[in-house]
């Protein structure tokens, strides 16, 4: 186990560069996005020095579905079986804020003007946060593709970046959806089946147990973090409501309550942001949940190849025994072996780099989160101290 971590240490430099994407030959970002109804249009902006592109700089409008299409085509490409395919970005989900917005509109009459304005502001902030997050995950997906030495050369990827018309990607129809579902079923059944196949490489054996374990843990952690964040948000919401109620109480009262107003203002600030950085942690965990799923997929593909290999070996043996179709079987076996070797090789590389990337990402996010926590706590400390002073002087 330690040797592996040392391994990853050695590769750290490279993986950092991968993660931070300071390779200037292909830089992708999403500077802007437009939200209309339930569709989000991202502006994908590319800057490149690669000769395979016609222009050094261009931007195209892309929708979420097109991202999914890109992901799917990459997954389906046989050549990439040995690579960890970056997880597709999750579907933009504006349901929460939108619903709230709706409710707000309904409740407009029952609220005071200030309350309404405040709620609206809150909602807008929340909406913006979700929006930003959505843009970010899409951006990260593209950046990971662009920073990968193989994916960046992918034809579909380049088309995705360059073609300034609608890719006319349609949503998956019901049959395809079902097909996808069926495929998943088969896959998981298959996974069980081939789990009996003896692993030949110790590295993969270890990786497999680790990833399985890790994935379940991180899934759990991510779910818990999400829960925690949600309740934190609830607390923040409560603070907001309380401050609203205090304000209106103070408006009706004179001297006695005026002071309390200052109190609540800060509380709102405090938890609003606190929940923000919790999102950072949650996001990290969530992302890696998906990433690890991708890594697991890689392992699955390799295991599949391994099983195929064994099967072809058996078939060859049989053929030899029977004395017919030997050439064909040999050919088959050779292919399988080749494929498996290739997969193993690239898989090994991918997994080590993945490990390093994960550590780096964790480090970065944990530090950021901690710093944010400290910053917010400090802010609220000073605010609290201020209002305590005011109250004391009263």
Partner 1 sequence: MALCHFYLSQMAASSERSPPPFPDSEEPELLEDSDEEADAFTGTSISEMDSPSPDSTRPPKDIFNEPPEDIFSDPLSNINSEPQKKVDAKIPSPSSDEAVDLFSDPLDDDSEVMSSPEVQNPMPDLLNEPVEAPKSDVLGEPPVHRNAARHQDVFEDPPKSSSKSSSVKKAASAEMFGDDDDEEDLFKEPPKVVTKKPQPSGPPVDVFTEVKSDVKVKPQVKDDPTDLFAEEALTAPAPKPSSGSSSSRTNGVHSEEQDLFSEATVELSLDSPCNDRKNKEAVKPSVSAPAAPVASSSSKAPSKSLEELEEEESEDKFDLNISITNPEKVGDGMNAYMAYKVSTQTSLTMFRSKTFTVRRRFSDFLGLFEKLSEKHSQNGYLIPPPPEKSILGMTKVKVGKEDPSSAEFVERRRAALERYLQRVVSHPSLLQDPDVREFLEKEELPRAVSTQALSGAGFLKMLNKATDAVSKMTIKMNEQDVWFDEKIQDVENEEQHLRKLHVMVESLVNHRKELSGNTAVFAKSVAMLGSSEDNTALSRALSQLAEVEDRIEQLHQEQASNDFFTFSELLADYIRLLGAVRGCFDQRMKAWQRWQDAENMLQKKREAEAKLLWANKPDKLQQAKDEITEWEAKVTQYEREFERISATVRKEVIRFDKEKARDFNRQVIKYLESLLHSQQQLIKYWDAFLPEAKAIV
**End-to-end C-alpha distance for the chain, whole angstroms:** 64
The region of 68-76, 213-221, 314-322, 334-342 touching partner 1 under the rule CB under 8 A is 213-221
Q: Is the Cβ–Cβ distance between 141 and 89 less than 8 Å?
A: yes
What b/e sequence results for 23-51 when a residue is b if at least 16 CB atoms lie within 10 Å of its CB, and e otherwise? eeebbbbbeebebeeeebebebbbbbeee
Among 183, 245, 317, 341, binds partner 1 (CB under 8 A): 245
Task: Give the alpha-carbon dihedral of 311, 313, 316, 322, to 10 degrees.
Answer: -80
Three-state secondary-structure class, residue 83: coil
Query: Dihedral angle at the C-alpha atoms of 253, 256, 260, 262, nearest 10 degrees?
Result: 90
Residue 293 binds to partner 1 (criterion: CB under 8 A): no
Please choose, out of 45-53, 191-199, 245-253, 338-346, the segment that lies near partner 1 by the rule CB under 8 A: 245-253
CB atoms within 10 A of CB 278: 22
Say whether residue 201 binds partner 1 (CB under 8 A). Answer: no
Taking CB under 8 A as the rule, does residue 112 contact partner 1? no
Of 124, 122, 125, 113, nearest to 247 (Cα)? Answer: 113
Interacting span for partner 1 (CB under 8 A) from 46-54, 99-107, 149-157, 217-225: 217-225
Distance CA 114, CA 101 (A): 16
* 1 close to 25: Cβ distance less than 8 angstroms: no
What is the β-pairing status of strands 39-48 and 26-36?
A: antiparallel
* Contact status: 118 vs partner 1 (CB under 8 A): no
* Per CB under 8 A, 241 contacts partner 1: yes
| Angle in degrees, CA 135, 137, 138, rounded to 5 | 65
For partner 1, the binding residue among 25, 121, 249, 335 (CB under 8 A) is: 249
The single residue among 111, 140, 221, 337 that binds partner 1, judged by CB under 8 A, is 221
Q: Which is nearer to partner 1, 188 or 234 (CB)?
A: 234
Q: Where are the alpha helices (DSSP H) in the chain?
A: 2-10, 12-20, 64-76, 95-106, 113-147, 155-162, 174-194, 202-252, 255-322, 326-393
The residue within the footprint of partner 1, chosen from 218, 279, 319, 351 (CB under 8 A), is: 218
Our finding on whether 234 is near partner 1 (CB under 8 A) is yes
β-pairing, 57-63 vs 26-36, is: unpaired
Task: Choose between 52 and 370: whose C-beta lies nearer to partner 1.
Answer: 370
322 counts as binding partner 1 under rule CB under 8 A: no
Using the minimum distance from each CB to partner 1, give the nearer residue, 123 or 242: 242
Binding region for partner 1 (CB under 8 A) out of 4-12, 52-60, 79-87, 162-170: 4-12
Site residues (CB under 8 A) for partner 1, limited to 250-289: 252-253, 255-257, 259-260, 263, 267, 270
Contact region for partner 1 (CB under 8 A) — 126-134, 137-145, 161-169, 230-238?
Answer: 230-238
Distance CA 298, CA 347 (A): 7
Of 144, 148, 232, 272, the one binding partner 1 by CB under 8 A? 232
| Dist. CA 46–CA 23, nearest whole Å | 13
Q: Which stretch binds partner 1 (CB under 8 A): 114-122, 141-149, 216-224, 339-347?
A: 216-224
Pick out residues in 358-377 that bind partner 1 (CB under 8 A).
359, 362-363, 366-367, 370-371, 373-374, 377
Indicate whether 16 belongs to the interface with partner 1 (CB under 8 A).
no
| SS3 call for 63 | strand
Residues that bind partner 1 (CB under 8 A): 1-2, 4-5, 8-9, 12, 210, 213-214, 217-218, 220-221, 223-225, 227-228, 230-232, 234-235, 237-239, 241-242, 245-246, 248-249, 252-253, 255-257, 259-260, 263, 267, 270, 355, 359, 362-363, 366-367, 370-371, 373-374, 377-378, 380-381, 384-385, 387-388, 391-392, 394
């Amino acid at each position: 186990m330690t040797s592996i971590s040392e391994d990853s240490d050695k590769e750290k430099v490279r993986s950092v560069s991968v993660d931070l994407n300071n390779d200037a030959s292909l830089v992708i970002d999403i500077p802007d996005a437009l939200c209309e109804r339930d569709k989000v249009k991202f502006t994908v902006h590319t800057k490149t020095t690669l000769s395979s592109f016609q222009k050094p700089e261009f931007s195209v409008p892309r929708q979420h579905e097109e991202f999914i299409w890109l992901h799917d085509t990459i997954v389906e490409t046989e050549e990439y079986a040995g690579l960890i395919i970056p997880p597709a970005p999750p579907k933009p989900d504006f349901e929460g804020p939108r619903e709230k917005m709706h409710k707000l509109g309904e409740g407009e009459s029952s609220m005071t003007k200030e309350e309404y304005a405040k709620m609206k502001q809150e909602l807008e902030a929340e909406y913006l946060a979700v929006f930003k997050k959505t843009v970010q995950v899409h951006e990260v997906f593209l950046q990971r593709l662009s920073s990968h030495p193989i994916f960046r050369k992918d034809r579909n990827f380049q088309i995705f970046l360059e073609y300034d018309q609608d890719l006319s990607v349609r949503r998956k129809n019901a049959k395809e959806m079902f097909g996808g579902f069926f495929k998943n079923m088969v896959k998981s059944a298959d996974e069980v089946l081939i789990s009996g196949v003896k692993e030949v490489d110790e590295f993969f054996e270890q990786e497999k147990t680790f990833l399985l374990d890790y994935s379940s843990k991180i899934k759990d952690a991510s779910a818990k973090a999400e829960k925690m964040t949600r309740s934190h948000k609830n607390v923040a919401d409560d603070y907001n409501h309380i401050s609203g109620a205090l304000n209106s109480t103070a408006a009706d009262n004179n001297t006695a309550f005026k002071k309390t107003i200052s109190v609540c203002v800060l509380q709102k600030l405090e938890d609003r942001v606190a929940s923000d950085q919790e999102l950072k942690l949650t996001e990290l965990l969530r992302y890696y949940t998906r990433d690890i799923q991708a890594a697991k997929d890689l392992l699955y593909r390799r295991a599949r190849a391994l099983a195929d290999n064994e099967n072809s070996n058996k078939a060859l043996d049989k053929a030899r025994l029977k004395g017919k179709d030997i050439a064909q079987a040999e050919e088959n076996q050779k292919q399988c072996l080749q494929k498996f070797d290739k997969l193993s090789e690239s898989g090994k590389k991918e997994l080590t780099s993945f490990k390093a990337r994960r550590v780096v990402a964790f480090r970065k996010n944990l530090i950021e989160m901690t710093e944010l926590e400290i910053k917010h706590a400090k802010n609220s400390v000073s605010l609290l101290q201020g209002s305590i002073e005011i109250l004391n002087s009263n």
